[in-house]
Amino acid sequence: MAVGLLNGPPLTVGRLAGRLARLLSLLVAVAIGTFVLLAASPIDPIEAYVGADSASIGTEQRDQIAERWGLDEPPLQRFTAWAGNVVTGDLGTSQVFNEPVIDVIADRFMASLSLLVLAWLLSGVLGFALGLLAGARRGTWLDRTLTWWAYTLASAPTFWIGLLLLYVFSVSLQWTPVCCAGPIGALPGEISLLDRLHHLILPALTLSVVGISPVLLHTRQSTIETLASDHVAFARSRGERLPGLVLHRVARNAAAPALMLQFAGVGELIGGAVLAEQVFTYPGLGQATTTAAMRQDIPLLLGIALFTAILVFIGNLLGDLAHRAVAPQTREQGGDASRSESRGELRDLAREQVTP
């Protein structure tokens, strides 16, 4: 990727400014969209906060709660006040956690990071390797099994996979823990790195499932296409055989869509984390998102929406750069102006992936 940064078309100041402007407009759109959706949501935050204790909280007390949260003002006023604060760097206070939104996101994201990275690597490496394998063995039982498996995974809900893994590995086999980021009853200082890894395995495996299928299927497809191309035929005629062919002639070509998808899939990964973390009681950003959504915690949800939008944007940017570094033809053609057809398709594909 570093090579790509150096060798690709120079990232001029103008291009950077363009990217930033795009990011800014994206954030504004996300903020407005999220707020409108939340304002139209059927959940009443005060009713959700009061919960089961409903009847012992009188009207006067409800008014007090609304006042504390600033809910006694009309939505437009609340939004402009919030937006004004955001410009000064203040994302507000989470209603659920009673802490500054920025602290909640920072705390929770640190917990999610290891999970996301592990799952991301797992899905990328597994998806790519298996995709190459399936493509190279096109039409065999191995290819058919892998393809079938990929379609099954793609259509299986994350939480269902999580529950399945939980019952097989944690309950029946008892290889993995049932919950949390550390052993039950252990203080943070007592938790070893091995403990943390041990608690990370199942959630990461569950989460990686989200990304494996698209990478696998696209890698398989481009492997098949490249194997049928002229330069591979030429290499074949010179006596090169399958494993070498795939490694030397195909892998690099197939890596371009895989990388692109992998980076563009960051959004989906975060979406999947919401479910995976819920099943395994993993205290990350996903779990916080669920709690915030159930309780209609608008400041926190807006904060999380902005934060994930930035992450997805960065993911797409890195995908672009990585793609440029790996796929020589796009580098040679250079610039955003003239893209190859396949690249255009890829971008469409990538765009489909950003929605979490």
Partner 1 sequence: MTPRLPLASRRNRLRRTGTAAVLALAASTLVACSSDSEATSGEKPTELRLAIGGESEEGYDPTTGWGRYGAPLFQSTLLTRTADLGVENDLATDYSVSKDGLTWTVDIRTDAVFSDGEPVTSADVAYTFNTAAKAGGLTDVTGLDEAVAIDEDTVEMRLVEPRSTFVNRLISLGIVPEHAHAGQGDAYAQEPIGSGPFTFVDWQKGQQLIVERNDDYYGTKPDFERLVFVFTDEDASLAAARTGEVDLVALPSSLATDEIDGMELEAVTSIDNRGMSLPAVADEGKKSESGAPIGNDVTSDVAVRRAINLVIDRQGLVDGVLEGFGSPATGPVDGAPWYEPRSAIDDNDPDGAVAELEQAGWIDSDDDGVREKDGVKATFNLLYPAGDTLRQGLALSVVDMVRPAGIEITTEGVSWDEIDKRLHTDAVLFGWGSHDPTEMYNLYHSSMAGTDLFNAGFYSNEIVDEHLDAALAATDPEVANQHWKDAQLDTDGNGFTAPADAAWAWLVNLEHTYFVDQCLDLGELHIEPHGHGWPITSSLTQWRWDC
Q: Taking the complex as a whole, how short is the minimal distance between the CB of residue 21 and partner 1, in angstroms? A: 37
Q: Looking at beta carbons only, is 117 or 171 nearer to partner 1?
A: 171
Q: Taking the complex as a whole, how short is the minimal distance between the CB of residue 14 and partner 1, in angstroms? A: 44
Q: Looking at beta carbons only, is 95 or 213 nearer to partner 1?
A: 95
Q: How far apart, in whole angstroms, are the C-alpha atoms of residue 354 and residue 356?
A: 6
Q: Taking the complex as a whole, how short is the minimal distance between the CB of residue 236 and partner 1, in angstroms? A: 11
Q: Taking the complex as a whole, how short is the minimal distance between the CB of residue 35 and partner 1, in angstroms? A: 18
Q: Looking at beta carbons only, is 31 or 133 nearer to partner 1?
A: 133
Q: Taking the complex as a whole, how short is the minimal distance between the CB of residue 3 and partner 1, in angstroms? A: 26
CA 280 from centre of chain: 18
Q: Taking the complex as a whole, how short is the minimal distance between the CB of residue 181 and partner 1, in angstroms? A: 6
Q: Looking at beta carbons only, is 23 or 129 nearer to partner 1?
A: 129
Structural Rg of the chain based on CA atoms: 24
For the purposes of burial, counting CB atoms within 10 Å of the CB of 13, is it exposed (0-12), middle (13-18) or buried (19 or more)?
exposed
What are the tokens at 173? 């086999």
CA 284 from centre of chain: 13
**Contacting residues toward partner 1, per CB under 8 A:** 42-44, 47, 49-62, 64-65, 67-68, 96-99, 107-108, 129, 133, 136, 163, 166-167, 170-171, 174-185, 187-188, 194-195, 197-198, 201, 241-244, 246, 278-284, 287-288, 291
Q: At residue 5, what is the residue type? A: L
Dump the DSSP string for 121-159: HHHHHHHHHHHHHHHHTTTSHHHHHHHHHHHHHHHS-HH
Q: Looking at beta carbons only, is 166 or 258 nearer to partner 1?
A: 166
Q: How far apart, in whole angstroms, are the C-alpha atoms of residue 218 and residue 355?
A: 19
Q: Angle 2-350-130 (CA atoms, 0-180°, nearest 5)?
A: 75
Q: Looking at beta carbons only, is 157 or 244 nearer to partner 1?
A: 244
